[in-house]
Structure 1
């Protein structure tokens, strides 16, 4: 939910519209969502309306750091290499990962050149403070702007905040695309939507399309065909099925109607990992996953590391550590809602836990 890519930089798919049916000031949903989220992240306290996995437990970032170590070693220990994160929030995940890497694999820490994909000046300042003990990062507005070379990219709750288009179907009206005006949806006739995996939608009422996510998948796929690398995405979403309308908003920590207060709420939508994987694979990447977050973290040692810390902690802190691990992995909590997928160079082995 910390996505700070500038989605307006991507060219939208061509479609036909009839402006006469739209109220003045109407915006296509993805344009509305991009504008609203840009304002929200530029003006609101960091992560004030939600809590992300790195903020729940230091173990999350440590496990991701251990995952990155294994990937770096499988790449032949390149030095230097790009160690990047998209949507870094407060910088907690990268700081926890770098702490572990610095302690256990100092050669990797020396080789890492840390780059962050972030547009919010507010967040950049906080990230700089969090990473000050380890490095001075360089910032970019888009994943596509990351420099060339071997790369490991991390992205936790990044794709879900990228803007989506929505299409709805009815027997009477056929396919129509949703626009936003005056706090309500308005529709315009359009052609049948399509996704890179070839799914058809005859029986589907609402279809969502996230063009910026597909552009990222294609860009990384092309990059990894000629430069060694891996990208890890953890996000809530779906795989092998469509969920219909998943647009949602949080304001002051509570669900709120997504169109009501643009710029005052965090807007997100479920990630379509099927379409994301298909776009990446078509561009040349190897796709690993998606698996549930619970399975991924437990395979990396979530419970063992949590118990190691809990045995040395104050009783209240130990309880908090165990509760955080349960929240991250339990099927009824984040464990099944969140999915994990990696894109890698075709020559690399499958990364751990995928």
Structure 2
């Protein structure tokens, strides 16, 4: 493909040459094109980016996850060494807060091998600056993880993995595709139906024109990491917006400058994401032999880990910032803000008891 063309022109050329493309192909090109994808060129995270993640709201988020990881490491009899992997580490804020707290535990700093899975050169540069003290290494493949016990953190990672969409018609399910009409990108349907029995059970009783999103990429990533954890011991913690049980409904969305944007406009400049089907993650984990905790909301998880007590301590230590601390706590835990929308998933070696999942 001609690399001198804009990403928009490259996508249109591909459609003219080979025909309509799937939603998954479109998402992949928009987000991870080698030179023009969103995560290759954009400064996505933060007030000056397109969206703000929980670690950017308050240090409390990362500090409590640091406590969570130390607790599991101690339950595992403090293996030395072990690997701590973050998927899609953003600006490095979450891991910096995790490490600041976790390294207070005797032996943790000496035992941890920090690995980061990231595709954005812009974000890698910021991560290197924030995590310079921890001998971090950046990986491009899970094959680079080695064979030590493995703990994985993924905050708003799975929502950015490509999905496929299918629409129910009278003659079966048709895959949604992206083509061109009058020179503009538009959604359409593949003319070839997929028999209803080929779809997951959750789609069996779907009404006409229902949309079902299939998360093949999420399932593959979860399967690979779950098999590694099953062999080596450890846990996966994933925090994202999504749903507990596979269901119909369209969730693909575009965000730019903290506002919703047309998903077909300006490829490479708009963040694309979809709600996570946590049933897919849980199924992949259990198939590999891991235990999976019942899904909890972010508000429940942080409250059980002690965010209220941590907020009080920060407010006492910094009275001038007390109001901001309480606002951050509310934003992270309130049902009207991030507390209900975001869910927390944990899969782990049998026998571990992850904190935050038992009332």
TM-score normalised by structure 1 residue count: 0.88
* Distance apart, 1:144 and its partner CA: 5.2
Q: CA deviation at 1:102?
A: 1.9
Q: Which residue of 2 aligns with 1:26?
A: 20
1:100 matches 2:104: no
Q: Which residue of 2 aligns with 1:35?
A: 29
Q: What do residues 183-237 of structure 1 show as CA deviations (whole Å, max 9, x unaligned)?
A: 2112112324534xx4343325111011111012212232232211101000000
Measured at CA, do residues 71 and 217 of structure 1 come closer, stay the same or move farther in structure 2, by a change above 3 Å?
Answer: same
Alpha carbons 2:202, 2:248 under 8 Å: kept: no
Question: Counterparts of 1:28 and 1:153 in 2: how far apart (Å)?
Answer: 30
**Counterpart of 1:146?**
145
Query: Which structure has the higher relative contact order (CA within 8 Å, separation 6+)?
Result: 1
Task: State the Cα deviation string for residues 222-256 of structure 1 (Å, max 9, x = none).
Answer: 22322111010000000125251000010122101
* Paired residues for 1:64-83 under 5 Å: 64-83=65-84
Question: 2 CA distance for matches of 1:296 and 1:23?
Answer: 48
| Matched-pair contact (CA < 8 Å) for 1:177–1:187 | yes
What does residue 114 of structure 2 align with?
Answer: 114
CA distance in 1, matches of 2:231, 2:40: 36
- 1:5-42 CA-to-partner distances (Å, cap 9, x unmatched) read xxxxxxxxxxxxxxxxx865521110110110121111
Partner of 2:12: none
Contact 2:41 2:121 in 1 (8 A): no
TM-score by length of 2: 0.87
Determine if contact 1:46/1:90 at 8 Å carries over to the other structure.
Answer: no
Report 1:137-176 matches (<5 A).
137-143=136-142, 145-171=144-170, 173-176=171-174
Task: State the 4+ residue runs in structure 1 displaced beyond 6 angstroms.
Answer: none
- CA distance in 1 between partners of 2:155 and 2:264 (Å): 25
Task: Specify whether residues 319 and 294 from structure 1 end up closer, same or farther in structure 2 by C-alpha distance, changes over 3 A only.
Answer: same
**2:210 corresponds to 1:212:** no
SS at match of 1:225: helix
In the TM superposition, residue 123 of structure 1 has moved relative to its aligned partner by: 1.1
Structure 1 runs not aligned, ≥5 long: 1-21
Alpha-carbon RMSD: 1.6
Q: Does the CA contact (< 8 Å) of 2:160 and 2:273 recur in 1?
A: yes
Report SS of the residue matched to 2:295: strand
How many residue pairs end up in the alignment? 326
Q: Which residue pairs with 1:129 in the alignment?
A: 129
Q: Which residue number corresponds to residue 313 of structure 1?
A: 318
